[in-house]
Amino acid sequence: MLVLLIIFFPEDRPIRLDKVNFHVAEPEELFFKNVRSYYYDFEKREDANFHLYRIKTRNKDTTKPGITFFIANNWLNDEAYIMVEPNSAVDTTKSLELRYAVSGSDWDTISLNTPNSYNNYLFAGKIYLAMTEDARFEILNGGETREIFGPENRPSVKKTLKDYFKLVGKMP
């Protein structure tokens, strides 16, 4: 029975975005700090009492538009936030827009108009759900469309999002 469960258990389980939750339970926080944080660069923000985690394998290329995510742990309130971080090649004067397509389907658009914690959560969740379906992504930037989340940086983005949603209890 256990063998069947291991064989047929999906690696990427879907998350539900209908209830936004930033709360971090102690077991999830301990797991993240003791196991997953090794894969992240750590930054302590004294001014906001946040601990920031950026995955070490993130795309650091600024010659073409790209985005990464970081986890902001508000340890005083037992909350964590997922935040999008566009590189310097992205036009941030307008909303951040990505479009994605799952094989054989039409393009859908994901926008981040107001980058607050709630909207970042929904933006990241939609990207993660599309990634679990092996969607192709493009960023709309300054009138141009360029591929984003290619094979070189897709695993890093997906790991960050998966770690975050595990941290806030959206995934077992």
DSSP bridge partners of 97? 111, 140
- Dmax over CA atoms of the chain, in Å, equals 54
Residue 124 structure tokens: 């990241």
pLDDT per position as a tens digit, 43-74? 999 888 899 999 999 999 888 889 999 999 99
- The answer to whether residue 2 is domain-embedded is no
SS3 of residue 75 by DSSP: coil
- List strand residue ranges (DSSP E) for the chain, in order: 40-45, 50-55, 67-74, 79-86, 96-101, 108-112, 136-141, 144-148
Q: What is the per-residue pLDDT for 53?
A: 98
Inside any domain, residue 75? yes
- CA–CA gap between residue 138 and residue 36 (Å, rounded): 28
Per-residue tokens: 118? 């709630």
Helix (H, G, I), strand (E, B) or coil at 15: coil
As a whole-number percent, the residues of the chain with pLDDT over 70 amount to 92
Residue 73 within any structural domain of the chain = yes
Quick: pLDDT tens for 139-162: 998 888 999 998 889 999 999 999
Does the residue 11 lie in any domain? no
Domain with 89 in it: 16-167
Domain membership flag for residue 140 = yes
Reported as a pLDDT band with limits 50, 70 and 90, residue 12 is low
The answer to whether residue 16 scores a pLDDT higher than 80 is no
Q: Is residue 7 part of a domain?
A: no
What is the domain count for the chain? Answer: 1
